[in-house]
Chains A and B, each alone.
Chain A
Amino acid sequence: MRRILSISILAALVTILPGSYAYAETTYLGYTYNTWDEAVPSPAGYVPERFYSGADIGAGNLKEPQDIFVDRENEIMYVVDSGNNRILLLDRDYKAFRTVEIFTSPKGQETLNNPRGIYVDNTGTMYIADQGNSRILVSEKNGSIKKIIETPRSDLIPENFQFKPDKLVVDKAGRIYVQCTGVFQGLICFDENGSFNRFYGSNRVDVTVSLLRDMLWRKLLTKEQKDKMIRFIPIEYSNVYIDNEDFIYAVVRKSENSNREIKKLNALGINVLRIGKNSVYASSDYGDRPVIYDRGFMVDTAFVDVNVDDDNFINALDSTRGRIFQYDQESNMLFVFGGIGEQLGTFESPAAIESMNKKIIVLDSKKNGFTVFRASDFGKLVKKAVNLYNEGRYREALEPWEEVLERNCNYELAYIGIGQAYMNMEKYIPAMKNFKLGYDKYGYSRAYKEYAVDIVREYFGTIAILLILIVVISKIYKNRRAIVNKYRIKRELRKR
């Protein structure tokens, strides 16, 4: 009796006492997708660190902020406080050290009206999408205006075009790429003088069942009837980001086929974002994979912003479910975190995403502030392993991958990484085993082929000798009569 009592007390103590195991408190569940497109629970890759409101950064209340930008070299963060028509400059500790409200030019003073987006180049020149005034302001660090870009004029642009710049990026040559509300031809590209250059990286029309049906109808109808039909136009981008190699990342809010929602555009406007062939994790369906219909409407991930961090990982922000999806450059999904809600780490209306000092910053336009996330131990491990793997240093990646598996044995990417490491060490049997666990058929086939070659090389001598022996013995067996006769004749000859 006493023993039972003591054991139960011990058990109670163990449950009450904080465990020595490391665990991350998150208000959301992390997950990844397996080979069969099922969501599998996974430890959170990122954990929320703190929420910063306007008061926390020392700049009064924010009002529907729409965009943030991080100047990584100088570690300055720019917040576009759209409702208050101002730009806030924050230092690395997220304290506002300057507010830009009034811009000066030789002609007089200018103010903003519902600014939506900002880009700052490495000299500190600010490019602001001033949507309410239908213009783009280019201003020096101190607020003196360099240039104002008004509604573009070109044969390609209709007369009654409403210029509503939303988000913008600037490449190293000074060309400005603007995503405008209501423009489906792609991004509007201005040259360095601020005159219209071209449309850039336009989307294609999604081929859907209703499109095919309408195409069939179009063959039968008259011109008047055709004009009354709905026009199928390509989807417009929702946000853009430019990395330091001048690749432009663009996301769309909704794609009918739920396909290629994130694009990495090269100078010609062609999507060059790779989809890892060998990996089961990679899919051209970014965001959540299952498509759900709610009262006839498609509910799918709607990306509102994209960002690429220092290690070239792509973070995409989803407004439907408030989730952040992190991908590597091979489109392998690494983590999902965030959600819709009230608690720390969840959002009401996520608007923009940026990364600074290995942390991810997500701006919420309804909570009027931003949340800072840091990578958890698990997240750091995975990122380290993926980086080594993608650089081709498979052997060094072995150890981090094994640690990843200790924390999450459902992480299929880790098995593939380990398989590749063993493959490089010419240990084909464990390589095959791990590729199988990671459902990597191509990797398995490669390892199996090497293994088969090894087997053949090892036993070729034995097999060849055996074959020769069989041939010789069968030859002898066939001609046994003749041989026996030959010897008999010899013997008889000798007798004589």
Chain B
Amino acid sequence: MKKEDLKLSIHAMLHPVYVFERVKFQGEGSILLSIIILFLWFFSNAFSMQSTGFIFNNIRQEDINTLIIFASTFVLFFLWTVSNWALSTFMEGEGKYRDIIIASAYSILPYIILSIITTIISNFLFIESLTFLQYINILAYAWSIIMLHAGIHAVHQYSLKKTVLNIILSVFGIAAILFLFVLVFSLFQQLYIFFYTIFSEIMFRI
């Protein structure tokens, strides 16, 4: 990872289409930085759950589960990229898997930064500023979604309509993958039980 990559990711927050075109056509951007951003996302989620000021924290501290935070960051990201990549091959997308990873990971950056900021300032605010924090939160989501949209748009060279369609279908794709996963899991369980019964039956006869 070079210093330019870091600069590029910051630059992407303000000029997403320009930067993601460069990622696609000039091979800029770094997978390593994307993974670091993912780690940051994981930690910022945990941080905001734990350290949001008492007044604004609606999460029961005993219920915080690292595995669930992991699933809602790393696993979700993985599913998203796989689903998007698989769909883009159907929908004449031009993006490589690397491009999708970089575009998606860089898009999370504004959300991470704003969520860390809100977590810190929530410790110094009174309950009247709840709406203010909610606005920042909405801004964070909106910024990230716009960036993601620009990223998919640039990486796959889609039209606006097709980008929106692609994103919505990718979300359904995640559900389909999860469904298949559960299906396969239960099938293997059945298979295991089947062989185990045969085994115990044989042992019983011998």
Contacts and interface: CB of A to CB of B under 8 A. Distances in A.
B60 A445 contact: no
A444 B55 CA distance: 7
Interface in B72-116: none
B126 interface: yes
A448 B125 CA distance: 9
Interface size bracket, B side: under 10
B60 A448 contact: no
Contacts, number: 15
A441 B54 contact: yes
Nearest to A441: B55
Interface string B53-72: 01100001000000000000
A175 B54 CA distance: 51
Nearest to B58: A441
B127 A36 contact: no
A448 B54 CA distance: 11
B54 A449 contact: no
Contacts of A436: 54
A242 B60 CA distance: 41
A161 interface: no
Contacts of A449: 126
Nearest to A435: B54
Dominant SS among interface residues on chain A: helix
Nearest to B63: A36
A97 interface: no
Nearest to B124: A452
A94 interface: no
Contacts of A445: 55, 126-128
Interface size bracket, A side: under 10
B79 to A, nearest CB: 30
A449 B125 CA distance: 9
A442 interface: yes
Contacts of B54: 436, 441, 444
A441 B54 CA distance: 7
A449 B128 CA distance: 11
Interface string A422-461: 0000000000000010000110110011000000000000
Given A436-B54, A448-B55, A442 B127 contact: yes
A341 B87 CA distance: 62
Contacts of A441: 54-55, 127
Interface string A84-118: 00000000000000000000000000000000000
A441 B129 CA distance: 13
A448 B123 CA distance: 10
A436 B126 CA distance: 14
A315 B60 CA distance: 31
A36 B55 contact: no
Interface string A444-483: 1100110000000000000000000000000000000000
A85 to B, nearest CB: 56
Contacts of B55: 441, 444-445, 448
A410 to B, nearest CB: 14
Q: Which of A36, A441, A444 has the most CB of B within 10 A?
A: A441
Interface in B20-58: 54-55
Contacts of B128: 445
A354 B128 CA distance: 43
What 4 A-B pairs come out closest when comparing CB atoms? Answer: A445-B127, A445-B126, A449-B126, A441-B55
15 contacts: A36-B60, A436-B54, A441-B54, A441-B55, A441-B127, A442-B127, A444-B54, A444-B55, A445-B55, A445-B126, A445-B127, A445-B128, A448-B55, A448-B126, A449-B126
Given A441-B54, A441-B55, A441-B127, 7 more contacts: A36-B60, A436-B54, A444-B54, A445-B127, A445-B128, A448-B55, A448-B126
Interface of A: 36, 436, 441-442, 444-445, 448-449
